[in-house]
Amino acid sequence: MLGGGLRLWHGVADGGGLGAGREEGRAGGRAGGREEGRAEGRAEGRAEGRAEGREGGWAEGREEGWAEGREGGWAGDWKEGWAEQDLAEEDRAEDWAVLSPEERWRARRFMRPAETGHYVHAHAEVRRIMAGLLDCPPRAIRFGREPCPGCGDAAHGPPSIIEPTATLRFNHSRSEAAWLLAVALDGRRVGADIEQIRPLNAFTGLLDGCLTPAERAYVVDTADPVRRRRRFYHCWVRKEAVLKAVGTGLAGGLIRLDVRPYEPGTALVRADGPGAGSFLVHDIPLGRGLAAAVAEESA
């Protein structure tokens, strides 16, 4: 069961980045109403700058703005993509209008218009939800970061609210068109992760580079490759949610953190090292094609 001060929202943008998607608020484990939205198509790109793992020197993700699968001359696609994106910005004017200059700059770095739309919509929705909680206009919110508990650098610490003054904490995640927002109204540390479940390259290497022995045993305890993939993502989103709550992100050490995936629903997890603490990690069921988890600091 979710803690009394924890609320969640999630959604899916449509192919152009519009659409409220599904929004769900929970307080004390109670659902607070839902808005249903369906994506008519999935984006072909990958999320901004996300590495699906950085242990042992491998990186499964793609850098922001890198167009996947383009071999040979892609200049024509690039120019056409920007022409489409200029038109799409007009269609998404209400979303673009609430973003900060930095968010708009980041959005324009994507090569694929669909991915830009997903980023813009997700960040605009986060601003609107936070504005409702903070009683201010969405564009008036100034986001920042707390110092990383590992190195002290605020460039990659957990997200924070600089203006207006607030005691709540939040974390959000996006994977292609899907997004997830977790807010701890009581100010406890919180982390969230959502992932599209898709085939993985070098699967054995990921198991060895990311999972503890107990987690690896859980993943391979089935001969079905589809179940193995889902079990890996189950471990992954729990790990990233906890490490985002800790404040170090993936640098906090994937292979040193055991998230007890064999305990369904909610598990109490201990994170050692910088930002050490105990966290309740909750599985968030969002459908067969998604894996999601939220971690909240244990009282």
Its sign, for the CA torsion 123, 125, 128, 134, is: negative
Residue 299 CA to residue 292 CA, distance in Å, equals 22
pLDDT above 50 for 78: no
Q: Does domain 6-26+74-297 have CATH number 3.90.470.20?
A: yes
Report residue 194 as tokens. 């959502």
The pLDDT tens digits of the residues spanning 50-64 come to: 333 333 333 333 333
| Residue the block writes with tokens 């979303």 | 95
Q: Please check whether residue 210 is in contact with residue 60, taking contact to mean a CB–CB distance below 8 angstroms.
A: no
Domain chopping of the chain, boundaries: 6-26+74-297
* pTM for this prediction: 0.76
The H or E element containing residue 193 is: strand 190-196
Q: Report the 10 Å Cβ neighbour count for 156.
A: 15
Q: Please check whether residue 119 is in contact with residue 48, taking contact to mean a CB–CB distance below 8 angstroms.
A: yes
Residue 26's pLDDT is 40
The pLDDT tens digits of the residues spanning 109-154 come to: 999 999 999 999 999 999 999 999 999 999 999 999 998 887 888 7
Report residue 147 as tokens. 């110092």
Residue 240 CA to residue 231 CA, distance in Å, equals 14
Q: Please check whether residue 141 is in contact with residue 164, taking contact to mean a CB–CB distance below 8 angstroms.
A: yes
Its sign, for the CA torsion 172, 141, 139, 156, is: negative
Residue type (1 letter), 272:
D
Residue 268 CA to residue 298 CA, distance in Å, equals 8
